[in-house]
A and B are shown apart, each in its own frame.
Chain A
Amino acid sequence: MAEKTGSDSEGVGALLRFWTYLRPHKRWLVLGMLMIPAVAGMATLRPLLLKEAVDVDIPAGDALGLRVTAMLFLGAVVAEFIAQAVQVYALQRSGHLTICDLRRAVFSHVIRLPARFFDRHPLGSLLSRSTSDIEALSETLSFGVFTILTDVVVILATLGAMFYLDAVLTLISLAVAPVLYVIVRFFSSRLRHLQLEVRRAQGAQSGFLAEQLTGVSVVQLYGREAAAVSEYERLGGRYLKATRTANIYDALLYALMDGISALCIALMIYYGAPRLTTAGDGALTLGLLFAFVDYLQRVFVPIREFSGKLAVIQRALAALSRVYGLLDQPAEARTPAGAPDPLAGWRGGVTVRDLRFRYVEGGPEVLRGISFDVAPGEVVAVVGRTGSGKTSLGRVLTRTYDDYEGSVTLDAPAGPVEVRALAPDALRRHILMVQQDVFLFADDVAFNVALGEEGLADDPARLTAALETVEAQDFVSARGGLTMEVGERGRNLSSGEAQLIAFARVAARQPTLLILDEATASVDSMTEHKVQAAIERLLEGRSVLVIAHRLSTVRRADKILVLGEGEVVELGTHDQLMARGGVYAELYQMGFDDDAEPPASAPD
């Protein structure tokens, strides 16, 4: 399953790569690490001070000495508290800063991934890569790796102090430790499996719940309530069984850790008692027993949390490898800053020769040898049935999809430029494709029109002018102007208004070539004529390739390109094609009415 992390070396590699994100925040990391010896030192020192008091100060009745020892003890307590707080904070800080950077890196990368990638990956999984997987990392960074390191140092320091004080007694009192180790290993491996099952069962149950509630009307209308409840019970039962078993192991593990230190102390006292009384070599002092009692009570505490922390790290490594998988996807190329515009002065002339294209390598060709020209300023209407390749043509021209065969050249003044040789962003500053389903961000009108375009985003006058061009200014200014919130997915707007906003984007950018996919869905009659008028205006003064669904648009076109099964079947003006009485004439009779193109990934 997804929880497997592959080999250990892979895990190490993943961590090494992680270092590149961690490095900018290493100051905090170093500060945190520096505190480790202080924490371990103070924790080891305290029992030694206790021993001093019991062995020296109290038997001697030295009140002053005792006071000094107690003050040292309190000093060690304060120092440890400060060191520990600084350490925990510094480690968490470096962790959160890194995670924030990593999340930004993942997001920025995904945003630049090509359309083909999005066809293959559902948004849900991309979202969980960018959120929950990175959250899993956050937990590890803050509490996992480095606290384990601290724990190990503290344990080693404690053991070191114990061995230094009395090696034999240490070995005796820790005699049960190997048994403990075996038990803990066994329990925690069982627990890990169970916890995995718990998470799976929980996921299945809540997934089922969410789906049934989303489709609650089907459940109700088709009388599926009882069946749904019994399935929910079954899934819940699976979860219940897993959690109850996990509970037993968990309780045993917890209790065992509790009992074990008392058992070790008992061992120590039992075997230490005779040596306490024999004078000479190997004699023990009472204070040493005090110190050992203290050490033994604390040395097991971190071990209890070890297995939990290890599980977290394993989960994080799995999450990390999924995140890397995403970061390793090749992103679209970008023009380097300051590079000259290769399309400067281009007037919109396009030459398409024998264009062939398929979405999936080895899949069916959706464009099968298309040739046509667009003269500067010409309006070309593209018509055809669903699946004839209309939308694909637009996608190739904007390099939304790469890997076409044949040639698509733009007649720039400096000579013809092949589309595949242009960086996508450079190309799209001149060729703008407007899809029929308008996407609006839950932000204000200004953002939705400007979309961060330089020189536009901070120029209200230009934005207003663009809105005026498409007759959207009326309703926008009536509802708060440029700062009007359009709502989630534009829900404060009607579908016609949303289209006008999308047209305002075009008007504000004045692309050299516009590829317009007209909406098939009927809009409300209030905005219908406005949409129509706006389209008329957008067609003025530039080259346009319009995937037409409206009669008026087709009539207005200088030439009509009729596609069928990825080929150009007819080409000419409306009157010529009508006179011909072919495919176009038939489509015209039927009213061009059809679906939007199916998603590119849909099997043919």
Chain B
Amino acid sequence: MKIVFRFLLRYARQNVPSYALGLVMLFITNYAVVRIPTLIGDALTALQTTGPAAVAAGQDLALELAIWAVIVVFARTLSRVLFFNPGRLVEFRVGVDLFRHLLSLQRPFYMRRKVGELVSVATNDTSAARLLVGFAGLQVCNVAVALPLHVRQMWATDPVLTIWCMVPVAIGGIYMRHTVRQFYGMVRDSQEYLARLSDRILESYAGIGTTRAHVGEAAVIERFDERNVAYLDLQLRIAKVRSFAMPVLAFTGYVGAGLVLWVGGDRIMQGHMEIGELATFTTLLMSLVALLMSLAWVLAAVSRGVVSLGRIDAVMRTGDELPPADAPLEIAAPPTLELRDLSFTYAGDDKPALSAISATVAPGRTLGIFGRTGAGKTTLINLLARVYTPPPGSVQLNGHDVVAIPLADLRRRMAVVPQDPFLFSTTLRDNIRLRGEYRGHSPDDDRSGAYAKLTQEDDPQLAQVLEEACLREDIRNLPKGLDTVVGERGVMLSGGQRQRAALARALYRRPALLLLDDVLSAVDQGTEARLVAAIRGLTEHAVGGAQAPTTVIVSHRTSVLEHADEILVLEGGRVTERGTHQQLIARGGAYAETHKHQGVEGG
């Protein structure tokens, strides 16, 4: 509950005027809702006697009834809008805040949490939070206003009858509360069952090649059907609750109406009640039942909303786990990169991933890292890129500890190409320039043609980068060239094409510090040679004005590293050999051995 209060204070405070007005409208609505049955009852009572006076009285009451009917339409509309729309605004603001926070969280966090889970927090949970301040807020206030008004009016009409019909309705209400809880439990299960079924379907489709080759269709269908039937069974159980348990409250309401007829009729005959009050009572009772029904749903929405808020809060309170960065640094020219006795152990591991690595890379020079899978190459790149935080003092740029440099400063002139590059679902052009020009998220989004204009402009740097990354040929073969949408929802590029696109993205920035993690693993040897030349070619731009970046390049192929100024050979996180390509070949160690093999054999 504390969370709810904190949340309301932060996000819903500015909506107080809206809520206040909404509350007034709610009061008017409910006054009308109670007034209407009373007027109906009074009119019917008036018409019990005959004569023009009675007709006139009845008609007057009918006119008043009509006025209240109109009032109820407007007051109810306003009360709903005034409560619901601020809820939407809250959902929006929570969503944006959450997204901003998520983007500030670092790799260790993303290793712990699955993306699907986070998406669900950002969509389902924010929407549950919205229901809490919108729908639930309205209904709680509504019940708080309406319930006393209803009971008061019923009591005023006839106390004995009120007690009589309250009994079944109260039982129905309690049962309903229980049912709704059970129902939500089942709905939660059903979402999980459906997710499990989808997983299985996706797995089966992904493995279709294997299934087909081994004629394993029957077995795969049987595996699918296990979950299909489990899902069905749950749905049938839900159907049972829905059909037999959920309508019980409405049923008790009608039972109450029957009692009104039974007991109320008696009381009219005894002269305790007017006949029109039968109608007043029945109508109020039905309205009360509807209130209780929504109360049961609201209580469930509140408890779900609280759970959701807890999940949102847990993410929002996760810190970025970064050490304080208090030494801003402008990296203008390619820096000197220095590793001082760098060791690193992943949280939860007992063996270090890297031990005591030292090296110095002068501005514009290239450090090569060679090693097998699991030797610690990627860990090293991740530490240099500050994806993980290295121990203080162990990585230095121009003599400044990188840990103390704010991430934004550090990354402004740095470009990193990971091993498995990620492309966004946008155009290839936008994937390289990363300017967010193309709004590729829905086809009818860009009506202004702004993107078309942007693509017209000449970008010599882009042209050059495409040349360097050997992408020209590939682009010619894409349906819309550079403006082809790639990524998840676009044209699928091959592994080599993705790597080269990511390389182009890095080169486009003309970085001062360039980190390449085995980026040529999926390109063929001919292209590899050209790309290596291009990466080295950057060095020669020094003559033409742009300065060559300080480069760290990781590879398991000696041909990629041949021209590095120094090569570190990693094994189990330790440097086992170091030197230039020639020196290492001459040394005849693991590097030389691999070089010999790679000359003739693949892999």
Contacts and interface: CB of A to CB of B under 8 A. Distances in A.
A362 to B, nearest CB: 16
A398 B214 CA distance: 11
B163 interface: no
A458 to B, nearest CB: 12
Contacts of A269: 40, 43-44, 47, 58-59, 61-62, 65
Contact of B210 (A69, A398, A435, A442): A435
18 contacts: A53-B265, A85-B247, A100-B232, A131-B198, A217-B110, A221-B385, A222-B415, A229-B100, A232-B96, A266-B69, A276-B55, A277-B55, A286-B44, A452-B220, A591-B599, A593-B598, A595-B496, A598-B494
A593 B275 CA distance: 97
B5 interface: no
Contacts of B70: 259, 263
Contacts of A247: 80-81, 84-85, 88
Given A429-B215, A453-B216, A214 B602 contact: no
Contacts of A300: none
Residue among B51, B107, B556, B603 with the most chain A CB within 10 A?
B603
Interface in A215-273: 215-225, 227-229, 231-233, 235-237, 239-240, 243-244, 247-248, 250-252, 254-256, 258-260, 262-263, 265-267, 269-270, 273
Interface stretch (B173-181, B236-244, B359-367): B236-244
Interface string B135-148: 00000000000000
A524 B282 contact: no
Given A127-B198, A224-B434, A252-B77, A57 B119 contact: no
B224 A107 contact: yes
Interface stretch (B200-208, B328-336, B542-550): B200-208
B239 A89 contact: yes
Interface residues of A, number: 163
A562 to B, nearest CB: 16
Contact of A127 (B201, B208, B258): B201
A448 to B, nearest CB: 9
Contacts of A441: 203-204, 207, 220, 223
Nearest to B127: A202
A58 interface: yes
B92 A239 contact: yes
Given A115-B209, A221-B416, A520 B524 contact: no
B239 to A, nearest CB: 4
Contact of B40 (A224, A254, A293): A293
Q: Is the interface of B mostly helix, strand, loop or mixed?
A: helix
B445 interface: yes
Enumerate the 4 nearest inter-chain pairs by beta-carbon distance, A residue then B residue, closest first. Answer: A452-B219, A593-B602, A451-B216, A70-B262
Interface in A96-124: 96-97, 99-100, 103-104, 107-108, 110-112, 115, 118, 123-124
Contacts of B261: 49-50, 53, 66, 69-70, 73
A225 B103 contact: yes
Contacts of B240: 89
B268 A58 contact: yes
A599 B204 CA distance: 19
A466 to B, nearest CB: 13
A262 B212 contact: no
Given A217-B387, A447-B219, A206 B119 contact: yes
Given A74-B262, A521-B603, 8 more contacts: A67-B262, A222-B434, A247-B84, A277-B50, A289-B44, A290-B278, A433-B213, A451-B211
B601 interface: yes
A269 B372 CA distance: 90
A104 B224 contact: yes
A263 B66 contact: yes
Contacts of A209: 99, 119, 122-123
A220 B103 contact: yes
A127 B243 contact: no
Contact of B73 (A213, A240, A259, A265): A259
A173 B235 CA distance: 42
Contacts of B52: 277
B423 to A, nearest CB: 8
Interface in B398-444: 407-408, 411-412, 414-416, 418, 422-425, 434, 436, 439, 441-442
B74 to A, nearest CB: 7
Contact of A265 (B40, B372, B415, B603): B40
A431 to B, nearest CB: 9
Nearest to A222: B434
A565 B333 CA distance: 48
Nearest to B601: A591
A87 B243 CA distance: 8
Contacts of A267: 62, 66
Contact of B84 (A124, A251, A255): A251
B123 A74 contact: no
A221 to B, nearest CB: 5
Interface in B241-276: 242-244, 247, 251, 254-255, 257-259, 261-262, 265-266, 268-269, 275
Contact of A115 (B212, B494, B556): B212
Contacts of B43: 269, 273
Contacts of A97: 232
Interface string B66-106: 10111011111110110011001101100110011011101
A262 B43 CA distance: 13
Contact of A505 (B69, B214, B217, B221): B214
Residue among B106, B209, B231, B492 with the most chain A CB within 10 A?
B209
Interface string B454-480: 000000000000000000000001110
Interface in B103-129: 103-104, 106-107, 110, 115-116, 118-119, 122-123
B422 A428 contact: no
A135 interface: yes
Contacts of A260: 69
A50 B122 CA distance: 53
A213 B103 CA distance: 8
Given A92-B239, A277-B55, A293 B76 contact: no
Contact of A551 (B48, B62, B436, B600): B600
A224 B258 CA distance: 67
Contacts of B91: 240
Nearest to B206: A123
Contacts of A435: 209-210, 213
A273 B416 contact: no
A215 B422 contact: yes
A217 B422 contact: yes
A425 interface: yes
Contacts of B62: 266-267, 269-270, 273
Contact of A263 (B69, B408, B495, B496): B69
Contact of B441 (A74, A204, A489): A204
B265 A70 contact: yes
B321 interface: no
A267 B102 CA distance: 59
A166 interface: no
B189 interface: no
B205 A127 contact: yes
B97 to A, nearest CB: 9
A123 B205 CA distance: 7
Contacts of A81: 247, 251, 254
B88 A229 contact: no
B350 interface: no
A212 interface: yes
B488 interface: yes
A507 B435 CA distance: 54
B424 A217 contact: no
A89 B243 contact: yes
Given A211-B424, A263-B69, A521-B603, A63 B213 contact: no
A229 B442 contact: no
B251 A88 contact: no
B299 interface: no
